[in-house]
Amino acid sequence: MSTNSVQLSRSSKQKVMELVYSIIKTRSGKITAKEIEKDLGSRYEAHYAILHLTKQGKIRRVKGFGSNKIEFYYQTIQ
């Protein structure tokens, strides 16, 4: 185990996932992972929440056109 890893409690993980879900829902599928990271202020928490929400089937990753390239956006399913 790395000494740099961040440990979150179970309630903190749930709160982060709820926050990310609400951010994605309010932005109606036009938000990238980088924008979610900026809103949360933590790259680790953003990626953790995105991963688990995707596994739970609450959000999905959609390919779209960005400003200069193809980017992936997140949309809510439920």
Give me the pLDDT at residue 1, please: 41
Burial class (CB in 10 A: 0-12, 13-18, 19+), 41: exposed
Residue 33 near residue 23 (C-beta atoms within 8 A): no
10-76 maps to CATH 1.10.10.10: yes
Over residues 56-71, the mean pLDDT reads: 91
Q: What percent of the chain has pLDDT over 90?
A: 65
Predicted model pTM: 0.81
Rounded CA separation 63/71 (Å)? 6
Answer yes or no: are the C-beta atoms of 74 and 33 closer than 8 Å: yes
pLDDT of residue 66: 83
Q: Could you tell me the residue ranges of all domains in the chain? A: 10-76
Residue 23 has pLDDT above 90, yes or no: yes
